[in-house]
Amino acid sequence: MNGNPTIKRVAIIGAGIAGLSCARELQSHGLSADVYEKSRGPSGRMSTRRTPDWSAGHGAQYFTARDPRFIQEVQHWIKTGSAAIWKPKLKVYEAGVWRDSNSEEIRYVGTPNMNSPGKHLAEELSIQYEATISQMQRRSGKWHLQCNEIGDIPTLYDVVVLAIPAPQSSVLIKDLDDRASRITATAEMKACWTMMAHLPHQLTTDFDAAFINQEIISWICQNRSKPMRQSNLWTIHGNPSWSQENVEISKEDAQDQMLKCLTSLGFNCEDAEISMHRWRYASGGLQNPMNFLLLSDIGLGLCGDWLNGGRVEGAWLSGLELSMALKQMVD
Ligand SMILES: Cc1cc2nc3c(=O)[nH]c(=O)nc-3n(C[C@H](O)[C@H](O)[C@H](O)COP(=O)(O)OP(=O)(O)OC[C@H]3O[C@@H](n4cnc5c(N)ncnc54)[C@H](O)[C@@H]3O)c2cc1C
């Protein structure tokens, strides 16, 4: 193995689609991994907000599949009932004009919820939830992890995979490895303010979802147009530049600005119950994708959408390809 560490124990930090894909692929090669996730469930930015009255995907809205490996995976999700094709009536708003979208892309969503594929992948994996890794150190060829909720993690690892956004990876690897630090520092990620508007009645629109250009809002989508959803819930995303510029404003201010924009677009959300969410690292990444990063001499891997063109497909492939590179280290 040319000085590479022997891989017996792998820790994966982050149970988003990249971390889950990496863990699943490692498991299929007989290499089990311990996954640590700071939230209460899997899926990361493919997650679902739940209240007693409604639930809605408030991160990724749909995903596409172009790579044959991901197409095959999505077909498997469809067979197991955790995803389905979504055929929305799509519009585009630009320079004050509404038009039909001419996109013919096949779009998929998780079913019944956006986090369903993640939940499916998480089955049979060893995942510690509510475990935020706050520090990692490499001593005598092993990784020592520290966790906010648990303290020192007793297991020592040969390999650590960071399946988390670049800025969060950057914090963990600061002072540990210059090569990885340089790469995380070049990734640019932008925020996204998300509004969920639950209406007491159905809005009459002649579309299910719309891309909005040149406004502070970039996307509006009727939840019930997606398979297995019923509530009168609209998910609205702020555009990346506006969200990033306004990342530190209060939820109330973000809500006011987005509501004003909605009104100007002809949507009356006066009676709506509004819920806001700020995604600090929603989109973006490396300008020149590199799929994943593996520093085999120190047993450190990085994967995630930000290394591979963004989006759900890129994240899943990044995790898969890193696990295959790790497997080659063992062979
Ligand atoms: C608002 C929004 C809209 C989007 N729309 C689309 C879309 O329409 N189509 C599309 O394809 N993609 C979309 N995306 C992007 C898509 O969601 C992501 O590309 C993909 O989900 C990223 O997966 P990931 O595994 O790389 O990262 P993440 O999903 O971010 O997973 C990282 C995980 O690591 C956890 N974590 C972070 N730090 C720590 C730590 N220190 N310790 C433990 N756990 C930690 C997080 O809680 C998270 O669960 C959207 C994203 C957002 C936010």
Q: Does the structure show a pLDDT above 60 at 5?
A: no
Question: Quick one: CATH architecture of 84-112+189-284?
Answer: Alpha-Beta Complex (3.90)
Contact 278, 271 (CB under 8 A): no
Gap from CA of 264 to ligand 1 centroid (Å): 31
Cite the DSSP H helix spans in the chain: 17-28, 68-79, 116-122, 166-173, 178-186, 240-245, 251-264, 311-330
d(CA 236, CA 146): 37
- At residue 202, the pLDDT reads 80
Higher pLDDT, 200 or 154: 154
d(CA 169, CA 214): 32
Average pLDDT over residues 129-156: 97
Q: Is 161 near ligand 1, meaning CB less than 6 Å away?
A: no
In this structure, what DSSP letter does residue 157 have? Answer: B
Gap from CA of 240 to ligand 1 centroid (Å): 15
Quick one: which atom of ligand 1 is closest to the CA of 21? 25
Q: Does the structure show a pLDDT above 70 at 192?
A: yes
Q: Is 244 near ligand 1, meaning CB less than 6 Å away?
A: no
Gap from CA of 120 to ligand 1 centroid (Å): 16
The packing angle between helices 68-79 and 311-330, to 10°, is: 110
Average pLDDT over residues 154-160: 97
pLDDT digits (tens, 9 = 90+) for 205-233: 999 999 999 999 999 999 999 999 998 99
Cα angle 301, 277, 316; round to 5 = 30
pLDDT digits (tens, 9 = 90+) for 55-90: 999 999 999 999 999 999 999 999 999 999 999 999
What is each CA distance from 287 to 168, 186, 247, 254, in whole angstroms? 18, 8, 22, 28
First to last CA, the chain: 8
pLDDT digits (tens, 9 = 90+) for 246-284: 999 999 999 999 999 999 999 988 889 999 999 999 999
Q: Does the structure show a pLDDT above 70 at 156?
A: yes
Q: Where are the domains of the chain?
A: 1-48+114-187+286-331, 84-112+189-284
Banded pLDDT at 200 (limits 50, 70, 90): confident
Quick one: which atom of ligand 1 is closest to the CA of 281? 53
Average pLDDT, the chain: 95
Supply the CATH classification number for the domain 1-48+114-187+286-331. 3.50.50.60
d(CA 94, CA 215): 9
